[in-house]
Amino acid sequence: MLFLQILGTGVYFNSDKLYFSFSILRFLKRQHFDDNTATVFNDKIHCYFMGGYVFNVSQSVKLKPSFLTRLVSGGPLQVDVAANVLWQDKFSFGL
């Protein structure tokens, strides 16, 4: 059995209105070898940054936009943007 560790670390902050986090995965370099060919695969460092804020639109409606950013060393920047509408703190609708 082969055990491949993935080591990462991160930090998360939240308050009543705001939250954000930052994390790094695979910061220990390791190589994968294909036994059938002479191919070597190297792990890439993954960085994530996430955040959001809660806006009170009215007493019963809240708007919660958020984002997730992913950066892989040697790759393009990826950003996901989302928004949720909370109604009476019981129901959530989002995109």
Domain coordinates of the chain in residue numbers? 11-94
Q: List, as one string, the DSSP characters of the chain.
A: -------EEEEEEE-SSEEEEEEEE--S--EEE-SSSS-EEE---EEEEEEEE-EESSSSEEEEEEEEEEEETTS-EEEEEEEEEEETTTEEEE-
- Residues paired with residue 56 on neighbouring β-strands, in sequence order: 62
Has this prediction a pTM greater than 0.85? no
Judged against a pLDDT cut of 60, whether residue 1 lies above it is answered with no
Judged against a pLDDT cut of 90, whether residue 74 lies above it is answered with no
Judged against a pLDDT cut of 70, whether residue 75 lies above it is answered with yes
* 40: its two tokens: 């070597």
pLDDT digits (tens, 9 = 90+) for 3-57: 566 678 999 999 999 999 999 987 666 665 666 665 666 677 889 999 999 999 9
* 9: its two tokens: 């670390």
Return the ∠ at Cα 53 (arms to 48 and 55), rounded to 5°.
Answer: 160
Average pLDDT over residues 77-86: 96
Residue positions counted in the chain: 95
